Amino acid sequence: MSVFLAVDLGATSGRVSAGTITPDLLEVREVHRFPNVPLTRDGASYWDVDRLWSETLAGLAAGARFAQDADEQLGGIGVDSWGVDVAAVGPDGAPLMPLRSYRSASPAAYEAVIDRIPAADLFRRTGVQPMTINTIFQLAELLPGAQLPAGSTLLLTPDLWTFRLTGDRAAERTIASTTGLLSAATGQWDGDLLAVAGVDPALMPALAEPATAAGVSGPELRSVLGGNGDVPVLRVGAHDTASAVAAVPLGEAEAFVSCGTWALVGVEHDRPVLTDAAFASGFSNESGVAGRTLVMRNLTGLWLLEQCLRAWPAKAALPELLRAAAVPAAQEAFIDVGDPDLVTSSDVPAHIRRMCRATGQREPVEPAEVVRCILVSLALAYRHTVGQAGSLTGRSVTAVRMVGGGCRNELLCRLTAEACGVPVLAGPSEATSLGNLGVQALACGVIGSLAELRRLVTVSAPARRYPPETGHVPWQRGDDLLAAS
């Protein structure tokens, strides 16, 4: 039995997990966690690649020690991360363009591209909802001033890590599907869109599928890996959402909510949905593992709660706030958690109060009231999105699978079940790492199919069921407020 190592780079923290996989059980253990703190330069935000890489190596070393203590060999390494952000490396592998954060995306670059190809047309070509953070708009801003020599390559975040591990230059399909540059019709880079963004097609790496081998770790990593040389580096669902959903035991009529700092809400489908209704509803189509399509919306998750906790350093701890927030409010307050001004607000609690005041609702004042407003509003957004996803794909959703850190929030799970009117099946919280490890097992032939991976997850990390309750929250009033916002 081999030990596989999953590198999961998140926008606020990263971790390395060690997993063992047999035909009957998938076990995972976090061996290293580290913060992800961007750098600021000339008013823009950049990822600290050197520090993140150093932390990754520390995590791989910890994973190698774990394998050694278990008297097992390392069977593979896989990397996943957030989407859209891209760097450039030269023909000799040297970095040429820093990895800028999507948080510094330029509205002007977005408008310049949309002036040449309307947003609705861009959606129909790629299946991706046009947003300022998408790679196509980032490159339209960054490349005109860059001097990239022949033989240079653009690499998305997890592909950059895989390149550093193996020297292989490729774009794993699930992460490539976040760029807004991949044709929904052909599954290849769209040459016309590359031209619109001012991207030389020679800069784009070849596409690679998840559950395939990228190469092996070189001799320079031997000391880091405890003497284990030539460890296979395997392409997983390099977009963290793809890895997370791979570990969700989805039934045909079930939706998913992958909830952490942000929330990805939708359904798994056999093809992209490129209709006008999908575009108008804010849905994207991103590639999943085993040729599946994730028809989903990117929504606010627990980021709002995290920002409020930072604003209340002297207030009660989160468990106490959640206990107080579990009591139904005499007058429930709802906000539109998709309001873009929330993301840029320097005082989220005050902004929430302003939003409630502007819609004629009672303002939440005490921290527990604000917490309840956030969680009720998140559940309302999930209700709305799950219903839309069902309509767009022609199915009646019978359950919601909630994974990620949000599934540990019992109040959010209960409210989501009540809002959606169907059971919430919560867990696993470590879905991304489990999916990363499971896809490595697929690549190695340890397990034979995505269905087998999901069966292992069901056995190894049973979900907790929250039945739908009724009568506590006036969801229809929330629907009306959301429709009017």
Single pTM value for the model: 0.93
Q: Which residues pair with 283 in a beta bridge?
A: none
Per-residue pLDDT of 95-138, as tens digits, reads 999 999 998 888 999 999 999 999 999 999 999 999 999 999 99
Which pLDDT belongs to residue 22?
A: 84
Which pLDDT belongs to residue 262?
A: 85
Domains of the chain: 3-238 (3.30.420.40), 249-427+463-485 (3.30.420.40)
Spatial CB neighbours of 3, under 8 Å, sequence gap ≥ 6: 18, 19, 20, 63, 66, 67, 70, 72, 73, 74, 75
Decide if pLDDT at 179 tops 80.
yes
Q: Which residues pair with 29 in a beta bridge?
A: 18
Catalytic residues: 240
Q: In which residue are the tokens 């209709």 written?
A: 275
Helices first, then strands: H and E counts in the chain: 18, 20
Cβ(31)–Cβ(462) below 8 Å: no
Per-residue pLDDT of 243-295, as tens digits, reads 999 999 999 999 999 998 889 999 999 999 999 999 999 999 999 999 999 99
Cβ(50)–Cβ(38) below 8 Å: no
Per-residue pLDDT of 9-33, as tens digits, reads 998 899 999 999 888 889 999 999 9
DSSP 143: G
Per-residue pLDDT of 314-333, as tens digits, reads 777 899 999 999 999 888 99
**Farthest CA pair distance, the chain:** 65
Distance CA 269, CA 372 (A): 33
> In 3-state terms, what secondary structure has residue 41?
strand
Per-residue pLDDT of 36-60, as tens digits, reads 999 999 889 999 999 999 999 999 9
DSSP calls for 195-233: HHHT--GGGSPEEE-SSEEEEE--GGGTTTTTT--S-EE
**Of 94-108, 302-316, 378-392, which has the strongest mean pLDDT?**
378-392
Decide if pLDDT at 376 tops 80.
yes
Q: How many CB atoms lie within 10 A of CB 121?
A: 13
Cβ(339)–Cβ(355) below 8 Å: yes
Residue 401, CA distances (Å) to 99, 133, 378, 382, 455 in order: 33, 27, 15, 11, 15
* Poorest-pLDDT segment among 156-165, 177-186, 315-324, 389-398: 315-324
Cβ(484)–Cβ(338) below 8 Å: no
Per-residue pLDDT of 411-470, as tens digits, reads 999 999 999 999 999 999 999 999 999 999 999 999 999 999 999 999 999 999 999 988
Decide if pLDDT at 220 tops 90.
no
pLDDT band at residue 300 under the 50/70/90 scheme: confident
- Six-digit token string for 179: 């760029």
Decide if pLDDT at 342 tops 90.
no
Pairing of strands 153-156, 232-235: unpaired
pLDDT band at residue 144 under the 50/70/90 scheme: confident
Q: What spatial distance separates the first Cα and last Cα of the chain, rounded to whole Å? A: 54
Which pLDDT belongs to residue 154?
A: 98
Q: What angle do the packed helices 303-311 and 367-393 form, to 10 degrees?
A: 170
- What are the phi and psi torsion angles at 173 (to 5°)? -60, -40
What percent of the chain clears pLDDT 70, i.e. is strictly above it? 100
* Poorest-pLDDT segment among 61-65, 228-232, 298-302: 228-232
Cα–chain center distance at 375: 20
- Six-digit token string for 33: 């966690």
- Six-digit token string for 23: 């035909």
Residue 284, CA distances (Å) to 126, 234, 288, 432 in order: 9, 26, 12, 20
Distance CA 272, CA 439 (A): 22
- Six-digit token string for 266: 């939708």
pLDDT band at residue 230 under the 50/70/90 scheme: confident
Q: In which residue are the tokens 């590359």 written?
A: 194
Which pLDDT belongs to residue 172?
A: 98
